[in-house]
Amino acid sequence: MALKNNYSVQIPLRCLTCGASYAFETDEETDYVICRKCNRVYRGGKEELIHLNEALIEEEKEQLIDEINKDLEKEVQKIFKNITIKL
Give 4-44 pLDDT, tens digit per residue: 888 888 999 999 999 999 999 999 999 999 999 999 999 99
pLDDT above 90 (res 1) = no
Q: Are 37 and 56 in contact (CB under 8 A)?
A: no
In sign, the C-alpha dihedral spanning 37, 43, 47, 51 is negative
DSSP secondary structure string for all residues of 38-83: T--EETTHHHHHHHHTHHHHHHHHHHHHHHHHHHHHHHHHHHHHT-
* pTM attached to this predicted model: 0.75
